[in-house]
Amino acid sequence: MQRYLAQRLLLLAPVLFIISALVFGLMHLIPGDPAQVLLGFENTDPAQLAAVRRDLGLDRPIYVQYGRWVGRLLGGDLGTSVRTGRPIAALIAEAFPFTIELALYALGLALLLAIPVGALAGTTRSRMADAGMQTLTLLGLSLPAFWVGAMLILLFSVYLRWFPVLTFPSFLNDPGANVRSFFLPALTLALPNAAAIARMVRASLVAVGREEYVKVARAKGLREAVIVRRHMFKNALIPVVTLIGIVAGYLLGGSVVVEQVFAIPGLGRMGLQAIVQRDYPVLQAVVLLVTFIFVLVNLAVDLLYVALDPRIRYA
């Protein structure tokens, strides 16, 4: 396990390096001149343009620019927004808490919905119940988040007035209001993920139910409830943990769509606004950060998987 851990961590460095190079390269493929954006499109004075380009280091070869960028990154400097002139690290520090809260909230709701539904579908002997739950989860996978969000706002905020719209007080100032205002976006984000997790729970339980040790437990005359609880559930959860981890990786990267629908000032919306405003240093930092989070969470999931299942031994 320790050797595997060391191996994976060592491999992380080249992966992060390749990703950073790719992100940097991709951003440079975006048409348009960042210096022109900074200067404003009305200003076409070539001397000023050249001066700005020199200031930004845009007149140097691309590998030099990349080297400087990575050097600054390693020192914790993510660059400066060309629109607001503020350090990007500060912008991210403001946006990230919204994204983290939304992600954890959505993940919690998803698990709350998914595990009972999946467990019931995976262990029931009722054909109707299983088919019903399968249809329900397929429907969950077929919902466009932006539409569900709009419909939830319509129903609960416009008609019933149960939840406030588009205000997100800080958790520390007013926990009650905070939890209320994040409920609808978290639910929107949770639904498709709950459907996916429930299906995985069900499939995994069905597979485990065919294992020899479960047959033995049945032959011993154990009650079905005991078999499910003591013998099936833990083993069935191992592949589910992987899926939960992947979902967490996605959620922590910020949901561009849900943050946009509910006007939550998180990472996803920040990235989208950077596109609209052509603030490419911000976009570059957001893409890099989100991809890093995604890779790191996936690595954590892989490690957890090994820790959970003693049958898996990575040589």
Partner 1 sequence: MPEAVLPAPPARPRPAGLPTLALRSRKTVIGGSVLLVVITAAVLAPWLAPYPVTEMHPSAKLAPPGGAFLLGADFYGRDTLSRILFGYRTSLLVAGASVLFALTLGGAAGVAAGYLGGPWETAIMRGMDILFAFPVLLLAITIVVILGAGTLTTILAIGIVYVPIFARIARGPTLVVKEQAYIEAAYALGQRPWRIIARHVAPNVSTPILVQATINLATAILFESALSFLGLGTQPPFPSLGLMVSEGRNYLELTPWPAVFPGTAIVLAVLGFNLLGDSLQELLDPRLRPTWTSA
Chain residues that interact with partner 1, rule: CB under 8 A: 15, 18-19, 22, 26-27, 29-31, 122-127, 130-131, 134, 138-139, 141-147, 150-151, 153-154, 158, 203, 206-207, 209-210, 249-250, 253, 256-257, 260-261, 271-272, 275-276, 283, 287, 290-291, 294-295, 298
CB closer to partner 1, 105 vs 122: 122
CB of 76 to partner 1, least distance (A): 23
- Residue 119's CB is within 10 A of a number of other CB atoms, namely 21
Query: Running DSSP on this structure, what letter comes out for residue 163?
Result: S
Could you give the CA distance from residue 289 to residue 308 in angstroms, rounded to a whole number? 28
CB of 43 to partner 1, least distance (A): 23
CA angle 218, 223, 227 (to 5 degrees): 65
CB of 218 to partner 1, least distance (A): 11
Cross-strand partners of 80: 87
Could you give the CA distance from residue 194 to residue 111 in angstroms, rounded to a whole number? 6
Helices within the chain (DSSP H only): 2-29, 34-39, 46-56, 62-74, 88-123, 127-141, 145-152, 175-181, 183-208, 212-219, 224-226, 233-252, 256-261, 267-276, 280-308
CB of 127 to partner 1, least distance (A): 5
CB closer to partner 1, 186 vs 228: 228
CB of 12 to partner 1, least distance (A): 11
Output b/e per residue, 175-185; b: 16+ Cβ within 10 A.
eeebeebbbbb
CB closer to partner 1, 19 vs 177: 19
CB of 173 to partner 1, least distance (A): 28
CB closer to partner 1, 36 vs 134: 134
The answer to whether 267 and 3 are in contact (CB under 8 A) is: no
Residue 166's identity, in one-letter code, is L
CB closer to partner 1, 1 vs 26: 26
CB closer to partner 1, 38 vs 249: 249
CB of 88 to partner 1, least distance (A): 16
CB closer to partner 1, 241 vs 275: 275
